[in-house]
């Protein structure tokens, strides 16, 4: 029994890219390009009435960013799978796309075989990230880890209590240590995290997921 082809919607504002993708996918019976749009608003209007299996979504659109589009699409059609397909390779953009709900991300230099494989996997509910994207994300994590100073267990505990707005005396009572020791921990934390006040200390701690 022959399976129905995976229906595809291409969202990209470069006509040459759209035509290239349609040509790449035209010879494969497993997929069928339903239509394409060059902006976010037309895409959302189409999705009010129609549905496809997988959307190939660029990051750079003229009206709504691809990052924001992911959320808007999934709010309308939660079952659609979105595969980011872009020239953008910045880890922050890729991570935001993932956070907003894409199932995969490829650079536009991907081969037709890899593209079809990615479409098939995300359609089946799996994640797919090209080898270049995996390396970019791994390097980003490694760099972040290098940038974050190591805190002792006690320093992390004190940091959490500071973030909760607790005073030096309250922290001392909770941890059964002297207020002087708490102040020493506070100074050490500020030095390690290179900040000058408690507000900056808390902001840094939240950004780096210490708390």
pLDDT in tens, the chain (211 residues): 457 999 999 999 999 999 999 999 998 999 999 999 999 999 999 999 999 999 999 999 999 999 999 999 999 999 999 999 999 888 889 988 998 999 999 999 998 899 999 999 999 999 998 888 888 887 776 666 556 677 888 988 998 888 877 889 999 999 999 999 999 999 888 888 878 877 778 777 776 666 6
Query: In which element (H, E) is residue 33 found?
Result: strand 31-37
CATH fold label, 6-144:
Rossmann fold (3.40.50)
- Please check whether residue 5 is in contact with residue 52, taking contact to mean a CB–CB distance below 8 angstroms: no
- Please check whether residue 86 is in contact with residue 94, taking contact to mean a CB–CB distance below 8 angstroms: no
Structure tokens at 65: 């960013």
- Please check whether residue 107 is in contact with residue 89, taking contact to mean a CB–CB distance below 8 angstroms: yes
Distance in angstroms (rounded) separating the CA atoms of residues 206 and 146: 17
For 153-207, CATH number out of 1.10.10.60, 2.60.120.10, 1.10.10.10, 1.20.1260.10 equals 1.10.10.10
Q: Bridge partners of 83?
A: 56, 104
10 Å CB burial of residue 121 (0-12, 13-18, 19+) is middle
10 Å CB burial of residue 195 (0-12, 13-18, 19+) is middle
The pTM of the full predicted model, rounded to 2 decimals, is: 0.69
Structure tokens at 144: 């972040």
Query: Domains of the chain: which residue ranges?
Result: 6-144, 153-207
């Amino acid at each position: 029994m022959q399976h129905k082809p995976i229906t595809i919607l291409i969202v990209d504002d470069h006509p040459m890219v759209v035509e290239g993708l349609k040509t790449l996918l035209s010879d494969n019976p497993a997929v069928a390009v339903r239509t394409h749009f060059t902006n976010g608003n037309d895409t959302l209007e189409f999705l009010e009435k129609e549905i496809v299996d997988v959307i190939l979504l660029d990051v750079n659109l003229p009206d709504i960013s691809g990052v924001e589009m992911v959320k808007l699409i999934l709010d309308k059609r939660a079952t659609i799978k979105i595969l980011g397909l872009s020239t953008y390779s910045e880890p922050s953009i890729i991570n935001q796309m993932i956070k907003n709900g894409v199932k995969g991300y490829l650079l536009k230099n991907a081969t037709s075989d890899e593209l079809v494989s990615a479409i098939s996997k995300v359609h089946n509910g799996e994640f797919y990230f090209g080898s270049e994207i995996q390396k970019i994300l791994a390097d980003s994590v490694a760099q972040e880890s290098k940038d974050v100073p190591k805190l002792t267990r006690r320093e992390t505990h004190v940091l959490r209590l500071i973030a909760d707005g607790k005073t030096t005396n309250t922290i001392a009572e909770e941890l059964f240590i002297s207020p002087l020791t708490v102040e020493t921990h506070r100074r050490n934390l500020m030095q390690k995290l290179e900040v000058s006040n408690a507000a900056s200390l808390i902001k840094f701690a939240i950004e780096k997921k210490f708390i």
